[in-house]
Amino acid sequence: MEHTDPELGAVLPSDEDIVRDCLTLGIRPGGREISLMREFAALLACRSRFVNLIGPSEMPRLWPRHFLESLAFAAVLDRAPVVDIGSGAGFPGMVLGMMGWDIVMLEPRRNRALFLEMAVERLGLSKARVERARIEDFSSTAAQYTARAVSDAASLVGILASVGAGDAVLTVREPSAGKAGRAAARVFDLPVPPLDRTGAVVQYRVDRASNCFSARNREERE
């Protein structure tokens, strides 16, 4: 059985600080959710020694940069099932799964998918599963999609429209609320602090956003 270093628990703040930071996002995690986040952080730190998941420089900001940004997605999502595109090391997919979402994490890279599968099993997330696939090759009727640091929103919206997700919404992180423009259906500004970088979590409707993005792209080319 794999053992994790107990000192790795220090990568997350105290329970009180976790609750305080989450309240700035309108979220109040329970004791079970906090325990799951701590366990996932320890798994991530341990496995990152052997698999390219999170670099050493990211560990000190694991909470404000990765966990809190992922939790911010909950501010604009409803409780319908979610497909997380390019889950990577598990942000935001694993965090949403810990918070009770029914979620499918798409990750085509073998080592990262294996890590996510192990983490889902270890944490007992019965409503989360991993698919080793790209969104272009995945058949889904989900109403909600998320992505973080995968591709630009216009490209993802176009892909979702092409695979038949025309009535869905896509939620992503943008570097600023202004970048979303008129195509955004919902915008949630990221509070700094407790997060360590500015930006916004933005939700796009695939059908409307497709038209807006197309028009904007045509204007830029002209």
* Sequence-separated contacts (24+) of 46-52 with Cβ below 8 Å: 46/2, 46/4, 46/5, 46/8, 47/115, 47/118, 48/89, 51/111, 51/112, 51/115, 52/111
- Give the range among 5-19, 109-123, 164-178 with minimum mean pLDDT: 5-19
Determine the structural domain holding residue 108 and report its residue range. Answer: 6-221
pLDDT tens digit sequence for 2-19 = 434 444 445 799 999 999
Residue 94: CATH number of its domain: 3.40.50.150
The number of distinct structural domains making up the chain is 1
Percent of the chain's residues with pLDDT above 90: 64
Is 80 exceeded by the pLDDT of residue 36? Answer: yes
- Whether 137 is covered by a domain: the verdict is yes
pTM: 0.88
What is the band of 32 on the pLDDT scale with cuts at 50, 70, 90?
A: very high
44 within a domain of the structure (yes/no): yes
User: Within a domain: residue 130?
Assistant: yes
- AA identity, residue 119: A
**Residue 1 belongs to a domain:** no
